[in-house]
């Protein structure tokens, strides 16, 4: 090694040593740091780039919405102090004053109008959050009107995940448009943020770690006592649990089912479980005249309501919830979580009845059953493949031979989604993004028509179609009286159940692993919101 290389090396080591000392000096302040690990990445800081609950929760630490949700998922004022509907097609928002973005510029009506355009621009993943026909009109600097073409009682249902960006900042940094997936150059807003929220992103290495720091100029009072929060991705479930048990992180999501009792027994951490909003269900192709990959030729057995009922009655959801899900699931009679529909408790799941199922199969002309293929993801929902395996063995009891085709989500969705809808029998999970039953009646069970761009039936992979449902969904959309609306929704779900259209299975449980030093609020929409996280100081 030459002398000059040695010199460079020595200099490097010296520089490193200085940096080490600087690093070591920082924690001496005993800042209250919350370390947490999630299975996936925080892929982008751009609040319009990816509709996924964890990402949304993280972005809500830095950005805020006009209307927000409280701990019980009820609307609460955010950047809008209050709002009213002077006429059914006009919503007026009174904006909060003295709110500053992280770069110090004040928040005004112009930012709302800008954000309303950007969120609906091409490349945004949140285009449906703001009604497409809504016009935003500035009344003064702190008042904005949203003018609709027709009355819409749930026009602001998705406002809590529509986050407000700064117009001046976005335009200055060339981020006035959301980054489209086919972009050829990186976007500034992907790696930087400038919101009004209680936390500032101090460091963001995509897929490695993200550091949040308290925003000193925040307009409101924050429940959290954190100075700093550090997010790390830990994809491997065993490593994630180990990191929680060894105290290196204070929060993990999710805790695998098989590790939950161990976490609870550790004495240092607990599993916070609660029913999630997502409903897991089975769909049966009722569209094709002949099923793909089935032993029945020339006709589609699922077009016979008796076969659908037989399938429903043969699948023992209680056993799935108890054994496959280890008790971490709530059997569901509806395609929506009961917490999202006030009259959900009126529905009861029909009990498993093998005898009747066999009779129905015989009546339908399949006393010896038939064979078909089932599509199932194996890395999307909690124990998804195991649920499908249980379903396969349960259907074997009524002589239905199911070939299970379980695949990673990337392959599964490519097969079953539009345009191919290439499936006869499948498992899917769904959370209505508006947290409202209309979404189910419209997107999941609405009639799907070729070439229809409205989005009706876009996730109705089974091709189930009952015009009665569509008519009810349209009425639900326009009805502003809550009890009338709930009654309409009940009619819709009654039609759905009478048709044995889909087989709802359960709401899977949320499973956060939380250190006993940490106090936080777990909401059923599975968003981790840092402003509700506190940690006992060291």
Nearer to another protein, 344 or 432 (CB): 432
* Closest separation in Å from C-beta 195 to another protein: 19
Measured CA to CA, the distance from residue 285 to residue 281 in angstroms comes to 13
**Does 437 interact with another protein (rule: CB under 8 A)?**
no
**Does 321 interact with another protein (rule: CB under 8 A)?**
no
Quick one: which of 246, 261, 319, 483 contacts another protein (CB under 8 A)?
246
Stretch that binds another protein, among 112-120, 302-310, 382-390, 403-411 (CB under 8 A): 403-411
Measured CA to CA, the distance from residue 327 to residue 509 in angstroms comes to 9
**Does 411 interact with another protein (rule: CB under 8 A)?**
yes
Nearest one of 88, 128, 129, 162 to 478, comparing CA atoms? 88
Nearest one of 55, 411, 381, 32 to 233, comparing CA atoms? 55
Exposure letters 392-420 (e unless 16+ CB within 10 A, then b): bebbeebbbebeebbbeeeebeeebeeee
Give the dihedral sign, CA 51/57/63/65.
Answer: positive
**Does 455 interact with another protein (rule: CB under 8 A)?**
yes
**Does 44 interact with another protein (rule: CB under 8 A)?**
yes
Quick one: which of 31, 33, 50, 305 contacts another protein (CB under 8 A)?
50
The size of the interface with another protein (CB under 8 A), counted in residues, is 71
Reading the block at residue 356, the tokens are: 């009747």
Quick one: which of 10, 15, 76, 498 contacts another protein (CB under 8 A)?
15
**Does 393 interact with another protein (rule: CB under 8 A)?**
no
The answer to whether residues 244 and 515 touch, using CB atoms and an 8 Å cutoff, is: yes
**Does 10 interact with another protein (rule: CB under 8 A)?**
no
**Does 350 interact with another protein (rule: CB under 8 A)?**
no
**Does 238 interact with another protein (rule: CB under 8 A)?**
yes
**Does 261 interact with another protein (rule: CB under 8 A)?**
no
Quick one: which of 49, 115, 166, 210 contacts another protein (CB under 8 A)?
49
**Does 104 interact with another protein (rule: CB under 8 A)?**
no
**Does 37 interact with another protein (rule: CB under 8 A)?**
yes
Nearer to another protein, 449 or 482 (CB): 449
**Does 258 interact with another protein (rule: CB under 8 A)?**
no
Nearer to another protein, 345 or 414 (CB): 414
Measured CA to CA, the distance from residue 424 to residue 377 in angstroms comes to 14
CB atoms within 10 A of CB 520: 22
**Residues 360-379 interacting with another protein (rule: CB under 8 A):** 379
Quick one: which of 219, 347, 370, 413 contacts another protein (CB under 8 A)?
413
Give the torsion through C-alpha atoms of 331, 332, 333, 334, to 10 deg.
Answer: -170
Phi, psi of 175 (to 5 degrees): -120, 30
Quick one: which of 345, 414, 478, 498 contacts another protein (CB under 8 A)?
414
Instruction: Give the x-and-dash track for 152-181 against another protein (CB under 8 A).
Output: ---------------------------xxx
Residues whose CB falls within 8 Å of the CB of residue 53, separated by 6 or more in sequence, listed in order: 431, 525, 526, 527
* Closest separation in Å from C-beta 363 to another protein: 37
**Does 194 interact with another protein (rule: CB under 8 A)?**
no
* Closest separation in Å from C-beta 488 to another protein: 23
* Closest separation in Å from C-beta 337 to another protein: 16
The answer to whether residues 391 and 325 touch, using CB atoms and an 8 Å cutoff, is: no
48: three-class secondary structure by DSSP: coil
Measured CA to CA, the distance from residue 63 to residue 60 in angstroms comes to 5
Give the torsion through C-alpha atoms of 478, 479, 485, 491, to 10 deg.
Answer: -60
**In sequence order, what are the beta bridge partners of 147?**
90, 135
Stretch that binds another protein, among 66-74, 86-94, 219-227, 407-415 (CB under 8 A): 407-415
Instruction: Give the x-and-dash track for 461-500 against another protein (CB under 8 A).
Output: ----------------------------------------
Length of the chain: 538
* Closest separation in Å from C-beta 23 to another protein: 6
Measured CA to CA, the distance from residue 104 to residue 311 in angstroms comes to 60
Measured CA to CA, the distance from residue 335 to residue 357 in angstroms comes to 22
């Amino acid at each position: 090694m030459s002398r000059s290389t040695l010199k460079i090396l020595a200099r490097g080591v010296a520089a490193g040593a200085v940096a080490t000392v600087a690093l070591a000096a920082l924690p001496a302040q005993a800042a209250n740091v919350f370390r947490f690990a999630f299975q996936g990445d925080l892929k982008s800081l751009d609040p319009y780039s990816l509709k996924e609950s964890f990402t949304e929760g993280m972005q809500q630490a830095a950005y805020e919405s006009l209307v927000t949700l409280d701990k019980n998922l009820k609307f609460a004022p955010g950047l809008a102090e209050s709002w009213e509907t002077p006429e059914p097609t006009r919503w007026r928002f009174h904006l909060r004053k003295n709110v500053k973005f992280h770069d110090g510029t004040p928040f005004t009506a112009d930012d709302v109008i800008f954000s309303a355009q950007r969120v609906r621009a091409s490349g945004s993943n949140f285009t449906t959050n703001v009604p497409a026909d809504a016009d935003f009109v500035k009344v003064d600097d702190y008042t904005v009107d949203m003018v609709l073409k027709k009355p819409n009682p749930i026009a602001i249902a998705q406002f809590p995940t529509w986050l407000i960006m700064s117009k001046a900042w976005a335009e200055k940094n060339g981020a006035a448009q959301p980054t489209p997936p086919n972009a050829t150059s990186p976007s500034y807003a992907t790696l930087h943020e400038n919101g009004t929220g209680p936390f500032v992103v101090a460091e963001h290495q995509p897929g490695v770690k993200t550091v949040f720091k308290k925003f000193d100029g925040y307009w409101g009072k924050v429940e959290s006592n954190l100075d700093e929060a550090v997010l790390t991705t830990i994809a491997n479930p065993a490593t994630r649990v180990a990191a929680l048990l060894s105290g290196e992180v204070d929060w993990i999501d999710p805790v695998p089912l098989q590790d939950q009792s161990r976490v609870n027994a550790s004495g240092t951490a607990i599993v916070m479980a609660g029913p999630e909003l997502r409903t897991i269900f089975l769909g049966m192709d009722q569209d094709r005249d002949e099923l793909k990959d089935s032993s029945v030729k020339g006709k589609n057995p699922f077009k016979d309501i008796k076969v659908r009922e037989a399938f429903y009655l043969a699948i023992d959801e209680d056993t799935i919830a108890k054994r496959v899900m280890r008790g971490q699931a709530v059997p569901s009679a509806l395609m929506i979580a009961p917490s999202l529909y006030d009259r959900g408790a009126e529905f009861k799941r029909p009990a498993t009845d093998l005898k009747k199922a066999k009779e129905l199969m015989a009546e339908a002309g399949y006393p010896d059953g038939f064979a078909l293929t089932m599509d199932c993801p194996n890395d999307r929902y909690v124990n998804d493949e195991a649920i499908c395996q249980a379903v396969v063995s349960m259907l074997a009891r009524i002589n239905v031979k199911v070939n299970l085709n379980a695949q990673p989500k990337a392959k599964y969705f490519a097969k079953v989604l539009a345009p191919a809808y290439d499936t006869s029998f499948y498992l899917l999970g769904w959370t209505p993004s508006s947290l409202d039953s209309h979404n189910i009646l419209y997107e999941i069970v609405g009639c799907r028509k070729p070439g229809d761009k409205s989005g009706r039936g876009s996730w109705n992979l089974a091709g189930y179609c009952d015009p009665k449902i569509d008519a009810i969904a349209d009425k639900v959309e326009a009805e502003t009286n809550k009890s009338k609306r709930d009654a309409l929704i009940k009619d819709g779900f009654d039609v759905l159940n009478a048709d044995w259209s889909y087989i709802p299975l359960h709401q899977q449980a949320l499973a956060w692993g939380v250190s006993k030093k940490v106090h936080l609020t777990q909401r059923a929409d599975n968003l981790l919101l840092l402003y509700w996280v506190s940690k006992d100081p060291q």
